[in-house]
């Protein structure tokens, strides 16, 4: 598992380093603009930094999807050290790399923005004071945790779509398009099941139902994908 995780990071290393370099440059523009009293440079640096943050999170996910399609289309990619690996390990390494890279980028960007806030804090009347209390902290943690679950469910559904498309259309071209079509079909199916069951759930239990359904969806997609990879795809 660790060898597979290392393998995944090695494939993404150059892209992640390039993104970090661009973030450092944009942050440098912000700091130079602040100390040089140049609002135009400062604003551009902040705008570029915000764009790179959003673009970085999206690009990490998209690149992982494209890499996975390519890896599974070429059977030799996961024959590391002449040892075949199970679908569970392969998918686990893929999801962990994506999760660590995305969360790492978010943490770096949030800490940088907090640093920027305190850099200019108290000197601009337009800044909103930060008021942190137990209720707001709990709300933030809850929202972040649920958002993470939704992200994992989305990744699991995308992975299942890729594996299904490669299983059903082994010799077909345009794997990305086929995976997209399968993903749309699965999304409609999952949404239909969710809404059908949800009709019988009282409104007071909506939050619990959302969490349980999301967890079942994540586990179900993961197990199904790994099983298909082990029995239908030659890795």
The pTM is what? Answer: 0.71
Long-range (24+ apart) CB contacts under 8 A made by 98-102 are 98/60, 98/61, 98/64, 98/155, 99/152, 101/9, 101/12, 101/16, 101/60, 102/57, 102/60, 102/61, 102/151
| Dist. CA 216–CA 110, nearest whole Å | 31
The residue ranges of the chain whose pLDDT is under 70 are 1, 72-85, 122-138, 171-175, 232-235
Handedness of CA 115, 51, 47, 145 (dihedral sign): negative
What would the pLDDT profile of 183-215 be if each residue is shown by its tens digit?
A: 999 999 999 999 999 888 888 888 888 889 999
pLDDT reported for residue 187: 92
pLDDT reported for residue 82: 41
pLDDT reported for residue 136: 62
């Amino acid at each position: 598992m660790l060898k597979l995780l290392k393998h995944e990071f090695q494939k993404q290393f150059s892209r992640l380093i390039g993104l970090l370099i661009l973030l450092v440059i944009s942050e440098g523009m912000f700091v130079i603009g602040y100390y040089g009293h140049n609002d135009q440079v400062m604003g551009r640096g902040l705008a570029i930094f915000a764009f790179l943050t959003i673009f970085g999170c999206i690009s990490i996910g998209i690149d992982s999807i494209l890499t996975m399609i390519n890896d599974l289309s070429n059977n030799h990619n996961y024959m590391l050290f002449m040892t075949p690996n199970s679908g569970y390990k392969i998918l686990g390494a893929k999801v962990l790399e994506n999760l660590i890279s995305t969360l790492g980028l978010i943490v770096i960007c949030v800490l940088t923005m907090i640093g920027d806030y305190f850099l200019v804090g108290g000197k601009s009347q337009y800044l909103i004071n930060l008021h942190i209390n137990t209720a707001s902290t709990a709300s933030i943690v809850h929202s972040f945790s649920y958002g993470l679950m939704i992200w994992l469910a989305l990744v699991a559904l995308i992975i299942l779509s890729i594996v299904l498309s490669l299983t059903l259309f082994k010799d077909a071209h345009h794997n990305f398009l086929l995976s997209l079509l399968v993903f749309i079909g699965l999304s409609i199916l999952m949404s239909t099941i969710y809404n059908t069951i949800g009709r019988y759930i009282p409104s007071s239990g909506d939050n619990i139902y959302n969490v349980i359904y999301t967890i079942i969806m994540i586990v179900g997609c993961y197990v199904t994908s790994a099983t298909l990879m082990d029995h239908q795809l030659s890795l």
